[in-house]
Structure 1
Amino acid sequence: MWRSRQRERGRVILPTWLFAVTLVAVTALVAGFDALLGTAVGLVPLLIFLPAIVAALGTTPQTAVASVWVLLTVSASAVFLGGGLGENLGAVGFTAAFGALSVLGCRYRINREEEVHRLRSAAAALQRAIMSPLPLRTGQVIVDGIYQPVEEDTMVGGDMYEVAASPYGTRVLIADVQGKGLPAIGEALAVVGAFREAAYRERTLMGVVDALENAVIRHNTYARHTGEPERFVTALVLHIGQGQGVQAVNCGHIEPYLIYDGRAGQVSLGEPGVPLGLARLTPEPRTSAWFAFPPRATLLLCTDGVTEARGPGRSFYPLEERLHEWVGVPPTRLADTLHADLRAFTGAAPPDDVAVLILHRAQPMTGPARTPAFPVS
């Protein structure tokens, strides 16, 4: 099926060829029926609604062309069919006025669409500026990845990540705020700020997670006072030290993927904890899990903008299947490979925020060898 519309500067417009073909075809169809039926009233004056339709989908020049075209068509019809002077002048005048209003309406629509697009682009640029640029290196790992906030079609989301080279080791955060829009970005920034502070201050990973929980609660308290809905945040927080073991606290987030020794799969972290902001709703405290991250292994963290991306057939993106195919891809190329394949799968830019972190060891490690905790299935 051909695409009836295309994008330009964040707007949806009619392609010129489709506009021209539609304009001529609709005019010929109406005029043909008018001549065939030979009605006393005539169908050609119904074309005055054509500029309004173009104004809803096309550009201002296209709407102006459609208005002039319809005005000429109605004028020619009036001359051809005859009729009273006053009646003809009234029809032509009404057509001209309706066409002018259509042009003004189209200009207003485009201004509004451009304003919304600028706001979305500014919000996405703010998200990119707040997050640490990738790739980056700490004493334990090299981190690459993808960060692609949504700028079109839907409101901006609240995916986030951060990597902190603390005195205790590398702390890694990847998280996703419930909902979309500027309030979601505000909560994301609050979580990132809390993580940056707590990652350097807290000796334990659970201390870092508690600080994130408190940050979400404080932000929700403020949101409640301003009339905004309270939100929760799914998050995965890691601590990577000098040994091969990685400590993880899963707050309702997607478990990490590990590529090692020709195999790929999700790491089993056990039962996930509740998302950030919901700890008071359950008596069960959050727990941490350990898994092996040996030399030459690659660790991939992501948000649901990857796992829930849909292809043309509405099927979900098969991330684990792709990782099995890419076990031989160097970690320095994995981010670009995934990004290109994801765009090819969806047929366009993904409709949701995408955040992916790809980690591999920066130096040889100490400690006994461990076996990666791949799932049994």
Structure 2
Amino acid sequence: MPRTRAKRFTPPSEAIEPPRNAEVVIGVVSMTVLVLVLGALSGSLVWLLGLLVFLPGTASALCTVRQTLFVSAWTTVAVIVTVVIRHGDGASWVDRTLMMLLTLTLGAASVYACGRRIRREHEMLRIRSTAAAMQRHILRPLPLLTDDALVDGVYEPVQEDRLVGGDIYDVVASPWGTRVLIGDVQGKGLPAVGAAFAVIGAFREAAHREPTLTALADALDASVVRHNSYAAQTGDDERFVTALVVNIDAHTEVQVINCGHIPPQLLHDAAVSTPALASGVPLGLAELATEPATVDWFAFPPGATLLLTTDGLTETRAADGTFYPITERLAERVSLSPTDLPRALYDNARAFAGDGSQHDDVAVLSVRRSPLH
């Protein structure tokens, strides 16, 4: 059995990277020295101390609570000592007293605001990490091996605010061959994850029950419809799911049913081709279709690789808005092994985007006939 790979989740405390203590000390001391020098040159040191008052506020947005407390304490001491020593530079005691009180108040408020910010960030990180961990628990780690197929690939859930998506995949060894599912739930957030779980649960049950892919697609569509009816009762938006279901058995051809998803890519003999498939409506919208979903067949010889993706890869954009040229980049990497190809495409797409950010889930699967045959 091939070795499984699981992504390591970063704990919330490690995901936040405040500046190092040395950087905070150097920054605060440098700002203090700058104010003192400018005050000595201009002769209005007490008024220039107002610049230091804003340091704790800046620290509360970037630093830890301890670092913010240090900045607040440093600023308070610097202002009070300077105001007391420089009693003869024209400022009244009322102004001096107000400046000291303002410094104390803003320092305390900054420490409080920093604590609130960090607690909120930790909570958001816990929610996002939990949602992504739930996805990975439901989506079994790759690679997956059956008597008919070996499925490998990469799955990367996005973990930004409100961007927990709903890319799904699964592999079931049924009495009629190995069935591979890849799909993408419309929308993002936890409701999208809920729809994704509904489809996966229906696939795992119906793949063993339904002898045809059309009946399997009908069962998946019904699961989305049921999920939407429950969502409507709670005020959530209805969802649809694009999906591609592949059936691989001992025959030289594979069966595919496309429910509004991205077509697969076939790699064989150093060539890349896109099988011609009839595209049906996404799951959850079957009632709107004028014709029932149809099953397509195409050759899948030994040694060939079938690449399945979601739009997280194909809709990756460069800074100028250009979409990721998957066919071109795939042709350049056709010599890679099926194990290495999905990760190579994913890394290349991230480099193509340029900013290093990820705005959608990405699922890339490579499917080839099982070495057990």
* Bin of the TM-score, shorter chain as denominator length: 0.7 to 0.9
Partner of 1:62 in structure 2? 67
When residues 252 and 24 of structure 1 are mapped into structure 2, their CA distance, relative to the original with a 3 A threshold, is: farther
SS at match of 1:246: strand
Q: Please give the per-residue CA displacement for 1:52-97, whole angstroms capped at 9, x wherever unaligned.
A: 1221222222212221232133224413542444543442233122
* CA apart distance, 1:352: 2.0
Matches within 5 A, 1:152-171: 152-171=160-179
* CA apart distance, 1:117: 0.6
- Which of 314, 327, 333 matches 1:320? 327
Partner of 1:48 in structure 2? 53
Partner of 1:370 in structure 2? none
Partner of 2:341 in structure 1? 334
Instruction: Compute the TM-score of the two structures, normalised by the length of structure 2.
Output: 0.86
Partner of 1:207 in structure 2? 215
Given that 1:295 and 1:364 are in contact with CA atoms closer than 8 Å, whether structure 2 keeps it comes out as no
SS at match of 1:42: helix
Letter of the 2:14 partner, please give it: R
* CA apart distance, 1:38: 5.3
Give the Cα–Cα distance (whole angstroms) in 1 for the partners of residues 111 and 139 of structure 2.
Answer: 42
Are residues 1:232 and 2:237 paired?
no
Partner of 2:226 in structure 1? 218
When residues 20 and 321 of structure 1 are mapped into structure 2, their CA distance, relative to the original with a 3 A threshold, is: farther
* CA apart distance, 1:343: 4.5
* CA apart distance, 1:138: 1.6
Unaligned 5+ segments in structure 1 are 1-6, 366-377
Q: Please give the per-residue CA displacement for 1:320-351, whole angstroms capped at 9, x wherever unaligned.
A: 22221221112233234334444544564633
- Which of 289, 296, 301 matches 2:308? 301
Give the Cα–Cα distance (whole angstroms) in 2 for the partners of residues 328 and 40 of structure 1.
Answer: 70
Identity across matched positions, percent = 49
Give the Cα–Cα distance (whole angstroms) in 2 for the partners of residues 12 and 274 of structure 1.
Answer: 44
Are residues 1:88 and 2:96 paired?
yes
Unaligned 5+ segments in structure 2 are 1-11
Partner of 1:368 in structure 2? none
RMSD: 2.7
Letter of the 1:266 partner, please give it: T
Are residues 1:132 and 2:155 paired?
no
Of 94-103 and 76-85, deviating more is: 76-85
Give the Cα–Cα distance (whole angstroms) in 1 for the partners of residues 20 and 177 of structure 2.
Answer: 55
When residues 86 and 172 of structure 1 are mapped into structure 2, their CA distance, relative to the original with a 3 A threshold, is: same
Letter of the 1:75 partner, please give it: I
* CA apart distance, 1:12: 5.5
Q: Please give the per-residue CA displacement for 1:297-334, whole angstroms capped at 9, x wherever unaligned.
A: 11110111222234566544333222212211122332
* CA apart distance, 1:166: 0.5
Of 118-127 and 77-86, deviating more is: 77-86
SS at match of 1:155: coil
SS at match of 2:336: coil
Q: Please give the per-residue CA displacement for 1:6-25, whole angstroms capped at 9, x wherever unaligned.
A: x9623353465664565456
* CA apart distance, 1:184: 1.0
Of 345-354 and 218-227, deviating more is: 345-354
Are residues 1:75 and 2:80 paired?
yes
Give the Cα–Cα distance (whole angstroms) in 1 for the partners of residues 119 and 138 of structure 2.
Answer: 29
When residues 112 and 329 of structure 1 are mapped into structure 2, their CA distance, relative to the original with a 3 A threshold, is: same
SS at match of 2:242: strand
SS at match of 2:340: helix
Given that 1:10 and 1:113 are in contact with CA atoms closer than 8 Å, whether structure 2 keeps it comes out as no
When residues 216 and 337 of structure 1 are mapped into structure 2, their CA distance, relative to the original with a 3 A threshold, is: same
Of 336-345 and 285-294, deviating more is: 336-345
- Which of 188, 201, 205 matches 2:196? 188
Matches within 5 A, 1:338-377: 338-346=345-353, 348=356, 350-362=358-370
Give the Cα–Cα distance (whole angstroms) in 1 for the partners of residues 20 and 324 of structure 2.
Answer: 30
Of 28-37 and 287-296, deviating more is: 28-37
| Pairs aligned (count) | 358
* CA apart distance, 1:106: 0.4
When residues 212 and 320 of structure 1 are mapped into structure 2, their CA distance, relative to the original with a 3 A threshold, is: same
Given that 1:248 and 1:289 are in contact with CA atoms closer than 8 Å, whether structure 2 keeps it comes out as yes
Give the Cα–Cα distance (whole angstroms) in 2 for the partners of residues 290 and 49 of structure 1.
Answer: 68
Give the Cα–Cα distance (whole angstroms) in 2 for the partners of residues 27 and 279 of structure 1.
Answer: 68
Give the Cα–Cα distance (whole angstroms) in 2 for the partners of residues 235 and 250 of structure 1.
Answer: 6
Give the Cα–Cα distance (whole angstroms) in 2 for the partners of residues 50 and 284 of structure 1.
Answer: 66
Give the Cα–Cα distance (whole angstroms) in 2 for the partners of residues 40 and 101 of structure 1.
Answer: 24
When residues 34 and 178 of structure 1 are mapped into structure 2, their CA distance, relative to the original with a 3 A threshold, is: farther
Give the Cα–Cα distance (whole angstroms) in 2 for the partners of residues 10 and 196 of structure 1.
Answer: 34
Partner of 2:285 in structure 1? 278
Instruction: Compute the TM-score of the two structures, normalised by the length of structure 1.
Output: 0.85
Q: Please give the per-residue CA displacement for 1:215-251, whole angstroms capped at 9, x wherever unaligned.
A: 0000000000001111111111112222122221211
Give the Cα–Cα distance (whole angstroms) in 1 for the partners of residues 358 and 205 of structure 2.
Answer: 32
